[in-house]
Chains A and B, each alone.
Chain A
């Protein structure tokens, strides 16, 4: 499994200044991620999972350390270059879905393509295909408040997928869903992984993490354990 390296993190730290106090959200983490890996990041609340995700997703930058994304040095990038990486290479899925409430499912999924400069007809075509892919062909014209939690998360996943990114980052994607719906979403991630996507999921539930093939456990901003899951749950 020596596929191409997508992410290479060397000794990063993230420090938040809270007045005079310094909070070490990440103390010292080094990681290497390859194409088509399926990873779960686990750890107790406050252990730095979200911070790490944001850094991997180029939404945030580390205070110290080096980060290479597809061999490009992220710490040297401008804000606009980071925005472009987020747009083309990264698909975010959030616990709270983070859809635009006034826009239809279709418009939400089209949004990354708007910033990617696609024409309106191309946008619509790709977005429809992606929504069909996540099983929402019949809900495209609904607004988020007309959809169930599971459907909303599918819209969010479609939005993450629509630009065909190098990696999908999901921060507690089942945190706001009941167990059954959560399982359905995990099945969708499993399908996406089988189709060749690279997936990182943050969770604090063992049941969710068991789907992944590699589990990274964080504690106090450090990697506590980084192990291969020899028997991932498959469908």
Chain B
């Protein structure tokens, strides 16, 4: 078949679809739904991947956090709860003994803190006491102002660095620096803010405030505190395995563990999030692929059916074409191209549909449901290509048998057909 004939075949498919708009649309509906599932699944997955990457960047790929809690272990929470708390003293001892790492800082945390600024108050904040050197970790990337200094740290100055959401809420008009806030009756001077960096997996980070650990103990010391943590910055990633083992050894000594006892603390790394996301990903793919397959099967049956009808309706036309010299391959191609065009048309509809859904969902859904804030209003480009290719393949598959029937028609019989 010559190229110019192929061009005519494509034009013909377009005309045929225009001639039967409603029917074409209904026939393509299964494909529209199928391609939409592919695109939306891909979109959610790419959102998850983004969230994962952001989280990893936020925590830092080269960070190890020693914690009583294991960040991935939802199921075993009873086991972790039974562990003795890590005291601030243990954490500080660890930090002074940990030599191989670039940095090791203790972290103490208090949830559900209330902050007052003037007449406003804001609660549900997580307060973090740490050392000046925590500023070297990605979690403390400064937006405005500065982190507290070694000097302020050592003399327990009441200075505070605010997470982005805390700053926005308390000081919507800006000018955060040098403002005074009050926590449990004590005054703190705001010296900086941290970049907005919350992600789906760690949405609380923008709701944190940072202060010198000494100042933290002054304010919250008498209270029930959460188990302390240690943040370790590995520095050179080549050494992460040795540093992990060094950290484990030091911590076991500090916690007085015998050789036969299991660790009563966890070494948390960004890998934990990768695992969480991997299982989420598999889950989404599973649903996506299942629904996609289902709608493609429905779609193929629908298109095939319409193509059989189309072949029957155009029996006489096929006879005419054969009488004036159309070969089997030409007729075959005509109907396959028509079927493929029908499916591609379905894909285009679904592109438009999905763009709308993606835009609306990413814009409005996170406002009512925070957990969906990982969704981005971007149509994943590679899925446009994938969707187009898949739709054309589906069209070819669905059109094959009807087209073969058309190609095989006897010209004399077809010409007699009424």
Q: Do A and B come from one complex?
A: yes
On whether the beta carbons of A117 and B328 are closer than 8 Å, the reply is no
Q: What's the Cα separation between A93 and B329 when bound, in Å?
A: 24
Q: Which chain B residues (1-31) contact chain A, with CB distance < 8 Å?
A: 2, 4-5, 7-8, 15, 19
A-B pairs with beta carbons under 8 A, tally:
68
Residues in B neighbouring A99, C-beta threshold 8 A: 320
Docked-complex contact B324 and A115, CB < 8 angstroms: yes
- A231 at the A/B interface (Cβ < 8 Å)? no
Q: In which size bucket is the chain A interface?
A: 20 to 34
User: Which B residues are in CB contact (< 8 Å) with A54?
Assistant: 412
Question: Are B412 and A59 in contact, CB atoms less than 8 angstroms apart?
Answer: yes
Task: Contact check, B4 vs A159: say whether CB atoms are below 8 A apart.
Answer: no
Within 8 A of B (CB), among A119-168: 119-120, 123, 159, 163
**Nearest CB on A from B309, distance (A):** 17
Q: Using Cβ atoms and an 8 Å threshold, which residues of chain A touch B326?
A: 83, 87, 115
Does B316 sit at the interface, judged by CB under 8 A? yes
- The answer to the question of A86 belonging to the interface, with a C-beta cut-off of 8 Å to chain B, is yes
Instruction: Say yes or no: is B165 at the interface (Cβ < 8 Å to chain A).
Output: no
B322 at interface by CB-CB < 8 Å: yes
Residue of chain A at shortest CB distance from B325: A87
Which of chain B's residues has its CB closest to A92's CB?
B323
A216 part of interface (Cβ distance < 8 Å): no
Q: Is B411 an interface residue (CB 8 A)?
A: yes
Residue from the set A98, A114, A123, A159 with the largest chain B CB neighbour count within 10 Å: A114
Please list the 7 inter-chain residue pairs (A to B) with the smallest Cβ-Cβ separation, ordered nearest first: A87-B325, A117-B2, A115-B325, A83-B327, A112-B324, A86-B325, A80-B327
Q: A92-B324, A120-B7 known; 9 other A-B pairs, CB under 8 Å?
A: A59-B415, A79-B327, A80-B327, A80-B329, A98-B319, A100-B320, A115-B330, A117-B4, A117-B5
For B330, the chain A residues whose CB sits under 8 A away are 115
Q: Write the nearest CB–CB distance from A59 to chain B, whole angstroms.
A: 5
Q: Does A94 contact B (CB under 8 A)?
A: yes
A159 adjacent to B324 (CB under 8 Å): yes
Pair A88/B415 contact, Cβ less than 8 Å:
no
B residues contacting the other copy or chain, number (CB 8 A): 24
- Give chain B nearest CB distance to A25 CB in angstroms: 11
Neighbouring A residues of B316 by C-beta, 8 Å: 98
A11 at the interface (CB under 8 A from B): no
Return the contact of B328 from the options A59, A79, A114 (Cβ within 8 A).
A79
Taking CB atoms, residues of chain A closer than 8 Å to B19 are 102
Bound-state CA distance A87–B326 (Å) is 7
User: How long is the Cα–Cα vector from A83 to B316 in the complex, in angstroms?
Assistant: 16
| Nearest B residue (CB) for A122 | B4
Contacts of B319 in A (CB 8 A): 98
**B-facing residues in A45-61 (Cβ within 8 Å):** 54, 57, 59-60
Does B321 sit at the interface, judged by CB under 8 A?
Answer: yes
C-alpha gap A104/B15 in the complex (Å)? 13
* CB of B246 closer than 8 Å to a CB of A: no
| Residues of B close to A118: CB separation below 8 A | 4
